[in-house]
Structure 1
């Protein structure tokens, strides 16, 4: 597996994922202390002057976000977090899920992120060093998250693998199913790329029977080239009330602002 998120940090898919994660966290915090479990945490904080300059995806994502003056509230909330990690101005740094969540934790909240690659886990630990409520550990999040979920109540769980291994779709769906067996009150949010509908439909079929599953699609271009990430989706199993409206606000803005001709957002339930 040669995936490195540092090449893709701050792209349009990150904006969708992270704006909705911030909303899901805030919603869950309204109901009491929350534990957030993250199966594929990554480095936590990304320097966009490094690898990201080669892909230029951040230029078409977070850089355009920060240049917009009139933002809907949930997109503006993400922009505020980007400004917070760039106190000198500009958009050099982009916060991944671990840092975004750590910044919002209260004393009784917890974040636990898993990272498979040792060299990235070192960066994760460094990025979380200022927040005692947040921890990053080395290991396979697919395997380790089930034990962690058994020790907390009604967690918010993020599943965001690189989808470069052929079994990532299967393991994501199977992990979500196993987590709901451990705790039926858990909310599981799964990010996926949209390349072709055959692969995506197969993934969704594996989630059938889990109760309410909300699918939030953002398509920047037609799904005609399966070699490109034409869009992304956030699939939320056991979503709290209001998730559809929140996802619609986020996905509509990304599709309308960053998409090509024919881009669209769609929110629906299995």
Structure 2
């Protein structure tokens, strides 16, 4: 599956990922935090541009912004989108790098890896007003392992485009390697949900090696067509206290509000 950030910006999966990412960034902890992003993307997306031609934002962030009675964690994401669009429109959507950069506390830092030179140039522009956030060119998996070794209990976001057949394996192995070196690290891995066989294989690779793990699933339709993204999951290794309730809130709202008949959310741990 090819999942380019720009093509799908602002869709339902971004709502799950980014609402839970904001919660993880705000979760209480001692000391400043380094946040590492393996596949940063452009950082900011124009939902009217050619890159967002899939129009998935219409069924995602635009419905979020017009919804009444949003739960607190979705409301927090809506506030970030609103701050990105001060004229009240929903033209621009903030990606993970910008959301993280805005949330860095005193002494915190962000390192985002991006291999595509034109996309990295956009990332540099998006982060230009955030001196504690930097972009680097290079392989995000290897870069995250090296950077995490220099940090104390970092938060690592693994969010690949799933263009390569080994993305599931490398995502799992990167999380395992980081956790073996630093038991205090938290790793959040975003994955699409197309079919259970692929996802179950990924979970089996993590199980018993990465440590305590929470799986937050939002299934918008039954997992019967492996050619479609039927849902998504955020898999959080070493989740902070309260993560299960946060995941229930976010995935429940996304599945219940944006999903087809039979949509559901599942939050479980191993």
TM range (shorter): over 0.9
SS in 1 for 2:39: coil
Instruction: Count residues with an aligned counterpart.
Output: 269
Say whether the 8 Å CA contact 2:2–2:162 is kept in structure 1: no
Q: Cα–Cα, structure 1 residues 69 and 173, in superposed 2: closer, same or farther, change >3 Å? A: same
Does the aligned pair in 2 maintain the 1:52–1:58 contact within 8 Å?
no
In 2, Cα distance between equivalents of 1:145 and 1:96 = 18
TM-score, normalized by length of structure 1? Answer: 0.97
SS at match of 2:145: helix
- For the residues of structure 2 that align with 1:162 and 1:81, how far apart are their CA atoms? 23
- Asked if 1:219 is matched to 2:219, the reply is yes
What SS does structure 1 have at the residue aligned with 2:130?
Answer: coil
SS of corresponding position for 1:244: helix
Aligned-CA RMSD value: 1.2
- CA distance in 1 between partners of 2:186 and 2:41 (Å): 21
CA deviations over 1:27-46 (Å, ceiling 9, x no partner): 15x42211100000000000
The equivalent of 2:104 in structure 1 is 105
User: What is the DSSP-based 3-state SS (H/G/I as helix, E as strand, rest coil) of the residue aligned with 1:5?
Assistant: coil
Which secondary structure does the structure 2 equivalent of 1:253 belong to? helix
The C-alpha deviation readout for 1:183-240, integer Å capped at 9, x for no partner, is 1110000000000000000000000112211100000000010000000000001111
2:174 aligned with 1:175, yes or no? yes
Equivalents in 1 of 2:82, 2:146: separation in Å? Answer: 36
Relative to structure 1, the CA distance from residue 186 to residue 233 in structure 2 (aligned partners, 3 Å threshold; closer, same or farther) is same
Taking the aligned partners of 2:231 and 2:86, their CA distance within structure 1 comes to 31
Cα drift, residue 106 of structure 1: 2.1
TM-score scaled by length of structure 2: 0.97
1:231-255 deviations in whole A, cap 9, x for unaligned? 0000001111110000110000000
Q: How far apart are 1:4 and its partner, in Å?
A: 3.1
